[in-house]
Amino acid sequence: MTDSHSERRRLQRAARADRPQQAVEERHRSNFFAESWAELRKVEWPGQAQVIQGTAVVLIACLVVGVFLYINDQVWKQVVSRILLGQ
Written as tens digits, the pLDDT of the chain (87 aa) is: 556 777 777 777 766 665 666 666 666 777 888 899 999 999 999 999 999 999 999 999 999 999 999 999 999 999 999 888 887
- Residue 2: per-residue pLDDT: 56
Q: What is the pLDDT of residue 11?
A: 72
- The answer, as to whether pTM is greater than 0.85, is no
Structure confidence at residue 86 (pLDDT): 81
The 3-class SS string of 25-65 reads HHHHHHHHHHHHHHHHHHCCCCCHHHHHHHHHHHHHHHHHH
Predicted local distance difference test score (pLDDT) of residue 18: 56
